[in-house]
Amino acid sequence: MAIILPLGGGKGGSGKTFLVGSLAALLAREGFRTLAVDVDLGAANLHTILGVPHPRLSLSDFLNKRVSSLADTVVSTPAPLLFMISGAMNNLDIANLAHEQKMKVIRHLVKLPYDYILLDLGAGTSFNTLDFFLVSDYGVFVTTPEPTAIENIYRLIRAVYFRKIRKALDTHRFRNLAREAEERNPLAKVTNPDLLLAVIRDLDPERGEQLARELASFHFKLIVNQQRKQDNPHIGAMICKIISRHLDLKIDFLGNVAFDDRVHNAVCKAGLFIDLYPFTQTVHDLRQCLRNLLSLHAETDRCQRYGNG
Ligand SMILES: Nc1ncnc2c1ncn2[C@@H]1O[C@H](COP(=O)(O)OP(=O)(O)O)[C@@H](O)[C@H]1O
Ligand SMILES: [Mg+2]
């Protein structure tokens, strides 16, 4: 089954599309069959980054039932092993997907035969964005080093985490227990996961342990993009620390990606930055982020197969 990597940011312009395109291209170059999907339907432009100026088909063909399977909307890109589903819409009304449509996309998405599927998500904490984080235990979050972007990314990560907890609690195993926990202590809510878990553990140690394991299975990652020389290189690690302290959520920092004016040139030429400017700090950083991501996945895989010991 594919590893699905939803990539989101709190703010438009942080570089989600650039990172999805670049990381997908690097994964394909490593020999992984990779699919990049543009789910930012209001501002779809992944096709341009991937050098496919006029995609023959797009997600709208699936949503409007012009094709019956999501797999039929996949188009190839100039790069070997790299495929995409464009979000370019003829009809802008569809920018906000109805819940049913989204669930249909998700149901089809998880069955597609790729090694990696990267999702380019819209900005912010709208339900449109959050639901796509639920398809996977892996979520990649992108921010720039600006305080406003950092504020927004913190809000997005918190919203995704709470939504994942809510989804776990909404299963028959935990539903009654969560209700009992809140009756015992009104502060034991989703928005207070530490306390909620402690009360649930007290009520039912076995299920409490199960829930703790489930919450620990979320592997969130952070990338700081458009890092300039004058920016503090430790901002990413600091954000992760704050998140783990305030939300009790482990989030791994994958690295900084340097700002480079030539990203603009690559976009204008509709070519891949990693091909046009391979010897830049930015490409070096992208490769490092990918290496960190792959080694974290390998570690997670090992722990899941053989336990933590
Ligand atoms: N590392 C970078 N260096 C320089 N410019 C960048 C970098 N990453 C993204 N950009 C530029 O920032 C703008 C927004 O990037 P984009 O990927 O479209 O963001 P988003 O998808 O988050 O809205 C684009 O003009 C892009 O060329
Ligand atoms: Mg974008």
Starting from the edge strand earliest in sequence, which strands make up the sheet with 75-76, in order?
A: 75-76, 82-85, 34-38, 116-120, 3-9, 138-143, 219-227, 251-258
Q: Is 8 a pocket residue for ligand 1 (Cβ < 6 Å)?
A: no
Cα dihedral 36→39→45→46 (10° resolution): -10
Question: For residue range 45-91, what is the model confidence (pLDDT) as tens digits?
Answer: 899 999 998 899 999 899 888 999 999 999 999 999 999 999 876 55
Phi, psi of 19 (to 5 degrees): -70, -40
Q: Is 12 a pocket residue for ligand 1 (Cβ < 6 Å)?
A: yes
d(CA 149, CA 59): 29
Among the bound ligands, the one closest to the CA of 18: 1
d(CA 272, CA 274): 5
What spacing in Å lies between the alpha carbon of 42 and ligand 2's midpoint?
9
* Atom of ligand 1 lying closest to residue 262 CA: 4
What spacing in Å lies between the alpha carbon of 255 and ligand 2's midpoint?
20
In contact, 157 and 251? CB cutoff 8 Å: yes
pLDDT at 11: 83
| Degrees to nearest 5, angle at CA 191 with 190 and 193 | 65
Among the bound ligands, the one closest to the CA of 153: 1
Q: Look at 249 and 285; give whichever has higher pLDDT.
A: 285
* The pLDDT of residue 102 is above 90: no
Of the candidates 275, 287, 306, 234, the residue with the CA atom closest to the CA atom of residue 77 = 275
pLDDT at 205: 95
Q: Is 17 a pocket residue for ligand 1 (Cβ < 6 Å)?
A: yes
d(CA 20, CA 29): 14
Pairing verdict, β 82-85 and 34-38: parallel
Q: Domain limits of the chain?
A: 3-153+219-306
Mutate to test the pocket of ligand 1, among 263, 264, 281 (most ligand atoms within 8 A of CB): 263
- The type of residue at 86 is S
Q: Is 107 a pocket residue for ligand 1 (Cβ < 6 Å)?
A: no
Mean of pLDDT values over 158-183? 92
Mean of pLDDT values over 258-277? 94
d(CA 98, CA 64): 12
Q: Look at 56 and 301; give whichever has higher pLDDT.
A: 56
User: 173 has which bridge partners?
Assistant: none
Q: Look at 118 and 98; give whichever has higher pLDDT.
A: 118
Percentage of residues in the chain with pLDDT exceeding 70? Answer: 95
Q: What is the architecture of the domain spanning 3-153+219-306? A: 3-Layer(aba) Sandwich (3.40)
Percentage of residues in the chain with pLDDT exceeding 90? Answer: 69
In contact, 40 and 85? CB cutoff 8 Å: no
Q: Is 80 a pocket residue for ligand 1 (Cβ < 6 Å)?
A: no
pLDDT at 141: 96
Whose CA is closest to atom 27 on ligand 1? 264
In contact, 189 and 157? CB cutoff 8 Å: no
Q: Is 144 a pocket residue for ligand 1 (Cβ < 6 Å)?
A: no
- The type of residue at 126 is S
* The pLDDT of residue 309 is above 50: no
Say which residue the tokens 């797009």 belong to: 58
Give the chain's radius of gyration (CA, Å): 20
Whose CA is closest to atom 3 on ligand 1? 259
Question: For residue range 203-257, what is the model confidence (pLDDT) as tens digits?
Answer: 999 999 999 998 888 889 999 999 999 999 999 999 999 999 888 888 999 999 9
* The pLDDT of residue 127 is above 50: yes
d(CA 78, CA 25): 10
In contact, 9 and 156? CB cutoff 8 Å: yes
In the structure encoding, which two tokens stand for residue 108, read together? 């089809």
In contact, 195 and 187? CB cutoff 8 Å: yes
Mean of the per-residue pLDDT values for the chain? Answer: 91
